[in-house]
Amino acid sequence: MADMRMMRRLLTAFLVVAAVGFGCAAFAYLTLPDVRTLRTVNPPTTAFIELRTREAAAAGKKPRRIQTWVSYERISSNLKRAVLVTEDAAFFEHEGVDFDELEKSIELNWKKGQFLRGGSTITQQLAKNLYLSPSKNPVRKFREFLIARRLEAELSKRRIFEIYLNVIEWGDGIYGAEAAARAYFKLPAAALGPEQAAMLASMIFNPRKYNPAAPTAFLQRRQQLILARMGAIAPPPPDQPAPPAVPKS
């Protein structure tokens, strides 16, 4: 009898956990943002920009936002290559999630017992930047995964990359490639050379700590590594039509 009661309790606990998990998954799916407007409309703000605004207000400071939207064609191919090499070399091959990179990231984090490697694609980073928080909790990561898949279903790769390059943080209050190019090199994003592009890409992982205008030795080493790899990546040229969006399944 004792064994039967234990089995019933275990079964009940399992069903409760399964029900809660299903409920959380359903809620996460049903509350996903509608990304279809991003096909033709540039996002007026992002979750990260709003976060920085709240942080500035909490510190009694005036929020700083320097951002100028430019089209994909007006961003240097050098910068596109440098960012792809640094953030997501398989961007044009996966469908929003790079499972090989994800597996490596899980293995490393498990081995070290701490979060050392994200394994996020450019699409996942865009999902987080537009709609989520920088936290690393499982629920947020699950929503990031779902939004990334939805972005890939509704937008072309080139449009995803264009939005990403225009909204990511490139310094305190500096958002997007055009603002970064002008702030650090007094140039438009279209005129960035390989060295400048590699320097900008080298700081993406911590844009509020590093300054390309006064690079540390660490940043310069990253720049050289990126320059050495840039030739292996070829983003679509400016005159090539954007590839069609992946059909919804």
**Percent of the chain having pLDDT more than 70?**
73
Domain boundaries, the chain: 69-230
pLDDT at 210 over 60: yes
Residue-averaged pLDDT of the chain: 82
pLDDT at 85 over 90: yes
pLDDT at 23 over 90: no
Give the CATH class of 69-230: mainly alpha
What is the pLDDT at residue 222?
95
Q: How confident is the model at residue 248 (pLDDT cuts 50, 70, 90)?
A: very low
**182 or 114: which carries more pLDDT confidence?**
182
pLDDT at 225 over 90: yes
Residue 24 CB: number of other CB atoms within 10 A? 13
What is the pLDDT at residue 84?
95
The structure's pTM equals: 0.79
What is the pLDDT at residue 138?
86
**Percent of the chain having pLDDT more than 90?**
65
